[in-house]
Amino acid sequence: MVMTSSWVLRYSKGHGVAALLLAAACTNGCRSGLHSSQPRDAALGPGADATPLGGFVGSGGAGTPATGGSATGGRATGGEATGGSGAGSVGRDGSGDTGTGGQGGGFDGGAADTGAGNCAAIADQLASQTAVVGTCTAVVRLDYSTLAILSHAFVCGEYSTRDETAARRTASTDAAFPPGSVGDGQLLSGPNPADEWVLFQPPRDFGGVAAVSARSGLTVFAGSIVWQGTGYVTVPSTWSMSDLGSGCAHRARPLVRGFDLSQEGATARFDEAADVVLGTALPSAFEHWGYIFDVVVLLYPRTVGGFDPATAEYIVLVNAGWLE
């Protein structure tokens, strides 16, 4: 189905959906030369899908994480920043229960305006982390139900011309889920995408999705999908919960493509998910040094055998690059 600003693909049982792999360029910290990069302010924790306890320090000053900001085995909802105009955030460790932390400052759901000053400051900081002579993808995770931003990461790299065979090989290396390789899965994105090759291994007991950047050839996102269980994100391996801002001014929406990897029962809100991320300081950060090309949105269910909104996420891939 073609929408006004989005392309939507739905996965129904018996049909595969490929995930989006996104790649971009980085100034440092890339593995295997220029493969995937870790955000400089990444929140390190046990496991690729883990986030630290409590909230995070707000962008307005020396905030203090609130106690009780996470629940064991579940999601942590923001911490209250006590310094300046700090904003609350949301983290998830993948098991789907909910725990409430301190009162956030307007970042939870993106409804409140961060303010032009904070947007500019956040954009400057993000630009310093991502500016490269190449391409960079912001990978942003949103809660399925609330569209609250959970975490983000950057995958950056040099421009590199690849074909479908190379993309499948990269996906097989970076995102091998039993019983087979996602690189051998169904190609959802079409054979010559401008944004990402989205590869999907339909889950029987286990399956998964991967998105490989058509501009850099790097895997920008990969996650497993488990029958009557909870899949986990494997790429990127490290995530940041720093404030991206909200209510920030941005230009006209770029082309948005959406891929629904769920079974019946989910409601695809690709444009809304994209607008949450485009309302942060990310677009301005990328425009400091380059240009935003397009956006890919994945409805990532994590589980098969009954859609679970408590664990599902939207994965928003904002693709940008250096203009020569």
- Taking only the tens place, the pLDDT of each residue in 62-80 is 333 333 333 323 333 233 2
Q: How large is the average pLDDT for residues 207-215?
A: 95
Residue 98 belongs to some domain of the structure: yes
Model confidence at 198: pLDDT above 70 = yes
- Provide the pLDDT confidence category of residue 114 given band limits of 50, 70 and 90: low
> How many Cβ atoms from other residues are within 10 Å of residue 116's Cβ?
12
Of 17-31, 104-118, 178-192, the one with minimum mean pLDDT is: 17-31
Question: With pLDDT > 90 as the criterion, what percentage of the chain qualifies?
Answer: 49
Task: Grade residue 205 by pLDDT with cuts at 50, 70 and 90.
Answer: confident
Q: Does any domain span residue 289? A: yes
Question: Is 90 exceeded by the pLDDT of residue 120?
Answer: yes
The rounded distance, in Å, linking the Cα atoms of 179 and 46 is: 25
For 56-69, letters b (16+ CB in 10 Å) and e give bbbbbeebbbbeeb
Per-residue DSSP letters for 35-74?
A: S-B--TT-B--SSTT---SS----TTS---PPTT---TTE
Q: Give the count of domains, the chain.
A: 1
**Is pLDDT larger for residue 123 or for residue 87?**
123
User: Does residue 170 sit within a domain?
Assistant: yes
Question: Measured between alpha carbons, how far is residue 277 from residues 63, 150, 196, 296 in Å?
Answer: 24, 11, 18, 11
Q: Judge whether 258 lies within some domain.
A: yes
pLDDT of 175 reads 84
Could you tell me which of 130, 175, 168, 174 has the C-alpha nearest to residue 290? Answer: 130
Find all residues with CB under 8 Å of 324, minimum gap 6, and list them: none
Both tokens of 280, joined, read: 């942060």
Rounded to 10°, the helix 282-289/270-278 angle is 60
- Within a domain: 73: no
Least confident segment among 24-33, 109-118, 220-229: 24-33
Asked if the structure places residue 79 within a domain, the reply is no
Specify the higher pLDDT residue, 105 or 204: 204
Q: Is 316 part of any domain?
A: yes
Distance of alpha carbon 184 from alpha carbon 199, whole angstroms: 8
As a whole number, mean pLDDT of residues 226-237 equals 87
Tally Cβ neighbours within 10 Å of residue 265: 11
User: Counting every residue, how long is the chain?
Assistant: 324
In a domain, 76, yes or no: no
Question: How far does CA 155 lie from the centroid of its chain?
Answer: 10
Average pLDDT over residues 266-279: 95
Domain that holds residue 88: 6-60+84-321
Average pLDDT over residues 259-281: 91
Identify which of 238, 231, 236 has the alpha carbon closest to the alpha carbon of residue 219.
236
Confidence of residue 18 (pLDDT cuts 50, 70, 90): very low
Residue 206's pLDDT is what? Answer: 83
Give the pLDDT score at 3.
Answer: 35
Rounded Cα gap, residues 299 and 301, in angstroms: 6
